[in-house]
């Protein structure tokens, strides 16, 4: 009689930060927003800032690039290095850790630094795992919550949902500046993976 020894099942590796924030060149996300209608985010070229090499993400509204952001993914975080708008470029000192490892419910971190001339303090929490239903489909996602002050007059609260292998699938943010409050809402419509 032939007896085959069964191997124990191999557990799937936990998603990495690069899975939650893919920076593959040519990747394009299309979002429907309440403020600008359809917005495309696409991964562009690399850029060297000091000792770091980061990847550009371009935001496109009505065919025009309205914003460029430079990101780098490391083992412990996803870092934003600079943001460029038509009015100028803002350098983040130190680079802003937008996502942190491990991606587990309850993980918290803080970023304190400068965005251009403004002192900024942001508190982040991986809040919970849940299914995010958006026009692009249903995704098992991790919800990120963050809040903080941007200079003396502005405050932001944001909920963002990140799905492994996809990136951000939904955002619900509120920016309060003086007596005015603006809600920003975005949902993923489609994603085209780069190579």
Q: Is the pLDDT of residue 2 over 70?
A: no
6-10, 28-32, 167-171 — which is least confidently predicted?
A: 6-10
Q: What SS3 state is found at 5?
A: coil
Cβ(133)–Cβ(70) below 8 Å = no
Average pLDDT over residues 94-122: 94
Q: What is the CA radius of gyration of the chain?
A: 18
Q: Is the pLDDT of residue 149 over 70?
A: yes
DSSP for residue 102: S
Domain 23-192, architecture per CATH: Beta Barrel (2.40)
Q: pLDDT category, 11, cuts 50, 70, 90?
A: low
Strand partners, 161: 143, 170
Q: Show me where the domains of the chain are located.
A: 23-192
Q: Is the pLDDT of residue 153 over 90?
A: no
Q: Is the pLDDT of residue 178 over 90?
A: no
HEC secondary structure over 83-94: EEECCEEEEEEE
- CA 79 to CA 94: how far, in whole Å? 9
Our measurement of the distance from residue 121's CA atom to the centroid of its chain's CA atoms, rounded to an integer in Å, reads: 17
Q: Is the pLDDT of residue 146 over 70?
A: yes
Which pair of tokens denotes residue 195? Answer: 């190579």
Q: Is the pLDDT of residue 1 over 60?
A: no
The model's pTM is 0.91
Q: Is the pLDDT of residue 3 over 70?
A: no
Residue pLDDT, tens place only, 21-79: 999 999 999 999 999 999 999 999 999 988 889 999 999 999 999 999 999 999 999 99
Q: Is the pLDDT of residue 7 over 50?
A: no
Q: What is the pLDDT of residue 5?
A: 46
């Amino acid at each position: 009689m032939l007896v085959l020894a069964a191997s124990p099942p191999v557990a799937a590796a936990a998603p990495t930060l690069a899975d939650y924030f893919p920076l593959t060149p040519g990747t394009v996300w299309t979002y429907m927003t309440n403020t600008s209608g359809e917005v495309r985010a696409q991964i562009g070229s690399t850029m060297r800032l000091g000792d770091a090499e980061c990847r550009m993400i371009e935001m496109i509204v009505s065919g025009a690039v309205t914003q460029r952001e430079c990101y780098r993914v490391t083992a412990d975080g996803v870092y934003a290095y600079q943001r460029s708008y038509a009015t100028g470029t803002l350098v983040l000192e130190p680079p802003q850790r937008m996502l942190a490892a491990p991606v587990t419910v309850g993980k918290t971190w803080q970023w304190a630094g400068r965005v251009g001339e403004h002192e900024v303090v942001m508190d982040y929490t991986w809040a919970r795992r849940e299914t995010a239903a958006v026009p692009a489909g249903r995704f098992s996602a991790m919800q990120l919550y963050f809040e903080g002050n941007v200079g003396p007059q502005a405050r932001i609260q944001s909920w963002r949902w990140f799905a492994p292998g996809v990136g951000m699938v939904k955002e619900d943010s509120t920016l309060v500046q003086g007596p005015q409050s603006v809600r920003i809402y975005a949902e993923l419509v489609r994603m085209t993976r780069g190579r």
